Amino acid sequence: MVALGELLPGDSPRIQGEDVTHVRNLAKTSDPLPPVVVHRPTMRVIDGMHRLKAARARGDAEIAVEYFDGTAADAFLRAVKENVVHGLPLSRADREAAAKRIIQSHAGLSDRAIATVVGLSAPTVGTIRQCSTDSSFQSNSRVGQDGRMRPLSAVDGRLRASRIIAERPEASLRAIAREANVSLGTAQDVRKRMDRGEDPVPAKFAPQLVPQPRSAEAPMGLPALHLLRRDPSLRLSETGRALLQWMGVCGAEHRREEIVNAVPEHCVRIIVELARSCAASWTQLGRDLERRTVVNNG
């Protein structure tokens, strides 16, 4: 029990403030009022301003309190949640305003998690988020209702996993999944696709990306191959698909040591000559393309 004089008004999610009629009705009862939720660091009422005003109106000296020890932003989150599940319902405008504020203070929460707190649908919260013009309110990942953080884009997670596999082919699937923030199944699928010389990102996940002109910041290695595989001018022609298949073999660079160790001794000399021949062919292809660019731009 806490003296009424020690409590301060909190940061209410109600745009219009407390409802006078509801306070009056609460004050008419002689029964003990339910505990109010109070932010202990500030002694501000998180949930229960109607009950606090009713207690004052009927001349009570103290009221039952439940303390909350989180941050001010978390206190507002608790206030909204409490007011949605009991007491005088929040208006639609109250809930939408609360959703916008929670998106600002807890950008990492998923639309569904925020929707559960404010009593709106997940698509509605998503629309409110999209209307935010401040990029700091956006996040590349979301914390779901189960408390787990997941990336928004399957493409980003798969590309991260592919880079880890290329750099550290000996890494375990569990380590790859943890570092890339993807599921174990996704890490396994990415590794299998790379072993087959395929794009680590299936077409159903990837947007239609067209590679940009070469620059100092242009992507290299697997990210560059991923961009090329999304280019319709290559993947929709027979010659383009053949080129992508050749480049896919080169994309298996992470298996070079394994391949070297697996080549039988009697095949070494032949494969060495073939490898040098292939290297010369790729070098000539690069020169021919550079020459064509110079001619076309000249």
Query: Mean of the per-residue pLDDT values for the chain?
Result: 78
Q: Which of 76, 77, 80, 75 is nearest to 40 (CA)?
A: 75
Confidence bin at 132 (pLDDT 50/70/90): low
pTM over 0.75: no
Dump pLDDT digits (tens) for 96-114.
Answer: 888 888 888 887 777 888 8
Classify residue 51 by burial, with Cβ atoms within 10 Å: 0-12, 13-18, 19+: buried
Which residues lie below 8 Å from residue 119, measured CB to CB, with a gap of 6+? Answer: 84, 90, 95
The arithmetic mean of pLDDT across residues 232-237, rounded, is: 70
Q: Which of 43, 42, 41, 34 is nearest to 64 (CA)?
A: 34
pLDDT at 209: 41
Within 131-195, residue ranges assigned H as helices are: 154-167, 173-180, 184-195
Count of beta carbons in the 10 Å neighbourhood of residue 279 = 10
pLDDT at 135: 45
pLDDT at 256: 73
Dump pLDDT digits (tens) for 174-200.
Answer: 999 888 888 888 889 988 888 887 778
Under DSSP, the state recorded for 206 is S
The arithmetic mean of pLDDT across residues 261-279, rounded, is: 87
